[in-house]
Amino acid sequence: MIQLHDKTFVPFISAQEIDSAIQSLAQQVEAEFGQEIPVFIGVLNGSFMVVSDFMKHYQKPCELSFIKMASYQGTTSTDVVKQLIGINQDLSGRSVVIIEDIVDTGNTLVELKELFKAQNIKELKIATLFFKPEAYKKDIKIDYIGISIPNKFIVGYGLDYDELGRNLPEVYQLNE
């Protein structure tokens, strides 16, 4: 068991399980793009570890950029998603894959879709390491899902509880 701020968390998903899920995501995306060079967009802060490992497993030419969004306060998602760092790259005619650490309510996805609408993108796909089906309230299709999990708060592997826990190599679940 570990403690972050006022809460305790128990081990939930091992580093090895995470790595297999990411390898499988990378293979699925790789199979889909043939010789085309996709642009991956990592969503900061949470996705930095996912993106790093995803890129190491992706064996064909690809490009990478980051966007920074935030919606969470403490352990609950808020409806207001803020864009903190935008994309300054020309994405017209490109195939873009958004790489998320986790999709919870889907508010961030809606905001991301909106942001990219103005750009003349060829196709926009969404990949996420973790997905909470019971919390998801939107009808945007998620193209690649690593691991579906129950609607409980998790930390580790990039995910935080009020900024702590991002450096844990495995994932922990809120102890309640």
Q: Which of residues 90-119 bind Mg ion (CB under 5 A)?
A: none
User: How far is 103 from 115, CA to CA, in rounded Å?
Assistant: 17
User: How far is 103 from 162, CA to CA, in rounded Å?
Assistant: 18
Strand partners, 157: none
User: How far is 154 from 83, CA to CA, in rounded Å?
Assistant: 23
Q: Which of residues 63-82 bind ligand IMP (CB under 6 A)?
A: 71-72, 77
Of 22, 103, 112, 142, the one binding ligand IMP (CB under 6 A) is: 103
The reply on whether position 51 binds ligand IMP by CB under 6 A is: no
Task: Give whichever of 30 and 160 is closer to ligand IMP, judged by the CB atom.
Answer: 160
User: How far is 144 from 130, CA to CA, in rounded Å?
Assistant: 10
Evaluate whether 37 touches 63 at the Cβ level (below 8 Å): yes
Of 46, 106, 146, 165, the one binding Mg ion (CB under 5 A) is: 46
**Contacting residues toward Mg ion, per CB under 5 A:** 46
**Contacting residues toward ligand IMP, per CB under 6 A:** 43, 46, 71-72, 77, 100-108, 153-155, 159
